[in-house]
Structure 1
Amino acid sequence: MIIDSDIIRGGIIIELTKALILGFTVGISAAIIPGPMLFATIGASFQKGWRAGPSVFLGHALVELAFFGLILIGASAFLGKTVISYLAIIGGLMMVIFGLAMIKNAKKASTMDISISASSLNLSSGPISSGIITSALNPFSGTVSAGIITSALNPFFVAWWLTAGSAIILQEYLIGTLAVVAFVVGHWIADLGFLVAVSSSFSRGTEVISQSTHEKLVYLCGGFMAFFGLWFMINNNNILQ
């Protein structure tokens, strides 16, 4: 039986596109939720302008790159399809939980006064201001270091990549290395785009989106997160095959 090479290429393109879209969806879903990295970006943008976004993203990406490497080394070294199957189920469940939590807290997240919360983050080399995060960041005053610290020391970030994130990476790994690359590229496009938008907006003293729009985005992304979690759990066997 001869398989048309065009069909094979078409299938590969579809899989890579799916991985890219999934990576972007996961990235933007996590990015819009207020957290240490977002606050660090806003705090730095008051002093460094739009360049704070790419700098914080670089630190964040370095931490994620380490996670990706550890996950893939483990996958190629000793993880079989059975282990990946269990991780996919656990990861899918975590995605559902995270998604439902996003939906539940959408209104609260959209009404947070991010500017006030971010004002406690002083990333300059000046005197230490009050606040636990500020004290932690002051020895590493660079914005790249801020991205590293606010990612590596964020328990939700670590929990995500050890559960749902690892399940996604390992399932993309079963498709091929290019699928992992596509997922990572999509994920980083979302992260970088959002952080640049935030730093550019706050450097001008304005908010990037309205509260009502923010709330709708959180609802939408929370729904997508829960949907993908259910999809992974239900279609786990088909994906592995």
Structure 2
Amino acid sequence: MFRGGIIIELTKDLILGFTVGISAAVIPGPMMFATIGASFHKGWRAGPSVFIGHALVELAFFVLILVGASSFLGKSVVSYLAIIGGLMMVVFGLVMIKKAKEASTMDVSISASSLNLSSGPISSGIMTSALNPFSGTVSAGIITSALNPFFVAWWLTAGSAILLQEYLTGIFAVTAFIVGHWIADLGFLVAVSSSFSRGTEVISQSTHKKLVYLCGGFMAFFGLWFMINNNNILR
């Protein structure tokens, strides 16, 4: 029974990490454009390469959050973080819903080309050079993550709150959450690179719009649940 309870808890953590990861991944942004641009030259392998760079940046955030937690972590601190993080999740969710129409009508191929990711010589600009597939897709994953304000804001607020809640449960809960999150990131980026390397779209614009609405709604709902139930979660 005890073992079964642990398995159920870890499964919940894995699903939570996956759902949070896919909710953020479906929004078109610099990392998606970098993957699309690189896929025209490197095929499906662009996805895993960009993911490695992205995961390295996230790993740095995980270490900083958890190392810092060991020095000041207490249930009252996590409770405050849960409220702040939950509020930020609500805000992020509402922004996703607002941006759903824009995301569904965006021509991601043109957007990728506008970043000089799919063709042309390497620009002398630092940002463009770093994003160009010929300069390395791993570095593209690092830069498009580290310089993305949404990504940084997420891990400094809501992401930190979730990770610290998992930390209170145990290191296996943290590991399950991270694994689920990375499965979502890797799976989506591979789907994007595989699809665009064949000259097709991952999903239709109509389906994309619905998916963004769904993920935005989930994010806002989970943020509210996080704030309301943070004391129960801590117990």
Under a length normalisation based on structure 1, what TM-score does the superposition of the two structures give?
Answer: 0.92
Letter in 2 for 1:35: G
Letter in 2 for 1:51: R
Match of 2:64 in 1: 70
Residues 1:148 and 2:139 aligned together:
no
Residues 140/169 of structure 1: CA separation in 2 closer, same or farther (3 Å cut): farther
1:208-219 alignment runs, 5 A limit: 208-219=202-213
**Cα offset, 1:132, TM superposition:** 7.8
Residues 1:23 and 2:10 aligned together:
no
Asked if the contact 1:123/1:143 (under 8 Å) is kept, the reply is no
Consecutive unaligned residues in structure 1, runs of 5 or more:
1-5
Asked if the contact 2:45/2:190 (under 8 Å) is kept, the reply is yes
Asked if the contact 1:92/1:229 (under 8 Å) is kept, the reply is yes
CA distance in 2, matches of 1:102, 1:11: 34
RMSD over aligned Cα, in angstroms?
1.9
**Cα offset, 1:125, TM superposition:** 10
CA distance in 2, matches of 1:126, 1:42: 15
Residues 1:207 and 2:201 aligned together:
yes
Asked if the contact 2:112/2:118 (under 8 Å) is kept, the reply is no
Q: Could you list the runs of 4 or more consecutive aligned residues of structure 1 that deviate by over 2 angstroms after TM superposition?
A: 120-133, 135-140
Residues 1:87 and 2:62 aligned together:
no
Work out which of the residue numbers 153, 174, 178 in structure 1 matches 2:172.
Answer: 178
**Cα offset, 1:129, TM superposition:** 4.3
Letter in 1 for 2:24: A
Identity of aligned residues (%): 89
Residues 1:157 and 2:146 aligned together:
no
Residues 1:236 and 2:191 aligned together:
no
Asked if the contact 2:21/2:185 (under 8 Å) is kept, the reply is yes
Cα displacement string for residues 104-152 of structure 1 (whole angstroms, at most 9, x for unaligned residues): 2211111101000001344589733498842443598100000000001
**Cα offset, 1:90, TM superposition:** 0.3
**How many residues are aligned here?**
235
Under a length normalisation based on structure 2, what TM-score does the superposition of the two structures give?
Answer: 0.95
Match of 2:102 in 1: 108
Consecutive unaligned residues in structure 2, runs of 5 or more:
none
Letter in 1 for 2:195: S
